[in-house]
Amino acid sequence: MTTTTTSKRTPKAVHFAEIVKVLEAANRPELVTVMEHEIELLANKNKTKSGEKRMTATQKENAGIKVEIYEAMELGVKYTCADIAKLVPSLNDASTSRVSALLRQMRDDVEGASGQVHRTCDKGKTYFEKVGE
């Protein structure tokens, strides 16, 4: 019987920081400067000019779909994931797990607030309800 272990991959920036320490101990300031520049490039890789992280194409698409979902929902009505998949045209071929993931993001998106939807469970069935505007 073979067992597999999963280990977290150490980020490149951590390795670079360790290399900087070794180079400082070896008294190689020119190489320390190069490695510090590489660390800076890694930090700036996914940031826009405003300093925020860049959105991937999928994240941009999902943001649009979440707006469609919110606009299609009515206040006071409880929807299942399947109901929402039927309600929103761009989700007609989507699985209920994808719809559920989008709704979970809508529930958690607004930091410090309740989010755009409220989740309830009734007799083992999950419902999502639009939060007031």
Give per-residue pLDDT as tens, 99-114.
Answer: 999 998 888 765 544 5
User: In this structure, what DSSP letter does residue 89 have?
Assistant: G
Alpha-carbon 51 to chain mean position: 17
- Position 95 pLDDT exceeds 80: yes
Average pLDDT value for the chain: 83
For residue 131, report the phi and psi dihedrals to the nearest 5 degrees: -85, 145
pLDDT for position 79: 92
How would residue 15 be classed by pLDDT, with cut points 50, 70 and 90? confident
**What pTM did the predictor assign?**
0.58
CA distances to 31, 33, 101 from 19, rounded to whole Å, are: 10, 11, 40
